């Protein structure tokens, strides 16, 4: 299945094309990099992977891919992939590995070939092994693990609203759009995600514990893990993440 068949190309955001984060202050100045960053952002649902990945893409000048955004885009486009993914996403299940690995492989051979920020992939050990094979002989530079308590992510997800047009992220409590229901960036409709229901959130968090949490130890053993406290103001979290990346990579 190709990108044109799936409509996935529009789900792959780049440093220029990433959904903006309304209300965000400019990201910290990029570190002088002689080589592009290869980064994975890990963290449970609602830990802020998407929020931070958008800022990091701008900061380091590398494209950002969220497999969740890519699947949502495929669902919107009505593609064959979207129809397959929708069934799993709505109940909070993982989309099967063969579909997910295929889109990341395509991305890494294209827009991501000179560095990337992966958000929401890998999500289990099989996907992590597939990623290592795709990159070989190169490796990831660092895996940032955003640490937030379950109580806090439940609070964040209950309040999350997303622009159905450009993907900009809001929170009805902390960061509402200026006009209720309308995106500050593009004027599109701002709505709750289909998988932000109580039942689907519970299912996603359970899958995180059983399938994704083991990656924390996996990447620790590989010497790639940088755990960051992802609570508090999003700008502060960005500062901590940038400091962790720079410490881990020696600014590349
Ligand atoms: P995906 O879209 O990746 O969803 P997720 O993993 O459930 O993660 P979220 O997007 O919910 O959370 P986030 O960490 O990005 O947090 P955010 O920045 O939005 O995946 C969706 C589905 O697609 C999966 O369930 C699965 O079906 C499928 N899928 C995707 N990848 C797959 C894979 N690899 N394999 C198989 N299936 C796959 O922040 C959340 C809220 O908190 C927002 O309202 C935000 O404004 C707010 N917020 C962020 N930071 C802060 C802060 N510091 N303080 C206060 N509020 C904050
Ligand atoms: Mg996300
Ligand atoms: Zn918008």
Provide the domain count of the chain. Answer: 1
Structural domain range at position 229? 38-159+196-245
Kindly state the greatest CA–CA separation across the chain: 49
Report the predicted TM-score, pTM, of the whole model to 2 decimal places: 0.88
Domain contains 126: yes
Ligand 1 touching residue 48 (CB < 6 A): yes
Domain contains 214: yes
What pLDDT digit, counting tens, does each position of 93-120 carry? 999 999 999 999 999 999 998 999 999 9
Domain contains 173: no
Query: Which ligand 1 atom sits nearest the alpha carbon of residue 233?
Result: 53
Among all bound ligands, the one having the nearest atom to the CA of 157 is: 1
What pLDDT digit, counting tens, does each position of 173-182 carry? 888 999 999 9
Domain contains 13: no
- For residues 228 and 244, is the Cβ–Cβ distance under 8 A? yes
- For residues 50 and 69, is the Cβ–Cβ distance under 8 A? yes
Write the DSSP string, the chain.
--HHHHTGGGG---TTTSPP-TTPPPPPPPP--SS--EEEEEE-TTSSHHHHHHHHHHHHT--EEEHHHHHHHHHHHT-HHHHHHHHHHHHTPPPPHHHHHHHHHHHHHTTTTT-EEEES---SHHHHHHHHHHHTTS--SEEEEEE--HHHHHHHHHHEEEETTT--EEETTTB--SSTTB-TTT--BEE--TT-SHHHHHHHHHHIIIIITHHHHHHHHTT-EEEEE--S-HHHHHHHHHHHHHHHHTT-
CATH code: domain of residue 200: 3.40.50.300
Domain contains 11: no
Domain contains 10: no
Domain contains 136: yes
C-alpha 37/C-alpha 61 separation (Å) is: 9
Domain contains 95: yes
Query: Which ligand 1 atom sits nearest the alpha carbon of residue 161?
Result: 44
Residue by residue, pLDDT tens for the chain (252 residues) are: 444 433 333 334 443 334 444 544 445 555 444 569 999 999 999 999 999 999 999 999 999 999 999 999 899 899 999 999 999 999 899 999 999 999 999 999 999 989 999 999 999 999 999 999 999 999 999 999 999 999 999 999 999 999 988 888 899 988 899 999 999 999 999 999 989 988 899 899 999 999 999 999 999 999 999 999 999 999 999 999 999 999 999 866
Residues around the ion ligand 3 (C-beta < 5 A): 163, 165-166, 168, 183, 185-186, 188
Ligand 1 touching residue 174 (CB < 6 A): yes
Residues in a beta bridge with 227: 145
* Pairing state between β 142-147 and 225-229: parallel
């Amino acid at each position: 299945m190709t990108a044109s068949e799936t409509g996935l190309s529009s789900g792959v955001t780049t440093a220029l094309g990433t959904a903006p984060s309304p209300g965000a202050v400019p990201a910290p100045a990029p570190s002088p990099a002689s080589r592009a960053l290869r980064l994975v952002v890990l963290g449970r649902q609602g830990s802020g992977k998407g929020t931070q990945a958008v800022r990091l893409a701008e900061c380091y000048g590398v494209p950002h891919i969220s497999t969740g955004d890519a699947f949502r885009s495929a669902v919107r486009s009505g593609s064959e992939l979207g129809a397959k993914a929708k069934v799993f996403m709505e109940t909070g299940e993982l989309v099967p590995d063969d579909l997910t690995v295929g889109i990341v492989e395509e991305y890494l051979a294209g827009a991501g070939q000179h560095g990337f920020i992966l958000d929401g992939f890998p999500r289990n050990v099989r996907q992590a092994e597939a990623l290592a094979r795709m990159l070989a002989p190169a490796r990831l530079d660092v895996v940032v693990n955003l640490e937030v308590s379950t109580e806090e992510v439940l609070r964040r997800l209950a309040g999350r609203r997303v622009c159905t047009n450009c993907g900009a992220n809001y929170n009805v409590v902390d960061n509402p759009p200026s006009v209720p229901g309308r995106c500050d960036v593009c004027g599109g409709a701002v709505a709750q995600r289909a998988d932000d229901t109580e039942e689907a959130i519970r299912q996603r968090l359970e899958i995180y514990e059983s399938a994704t949490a083991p990656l924390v130890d996996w990447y620790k053993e590989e010497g790639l893990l940088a755990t960051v406290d992802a609570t508090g103001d999003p700008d502060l979290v960005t500062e901590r993440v940038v400091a962790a990346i720079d410490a881990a990579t020696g600014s590349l």
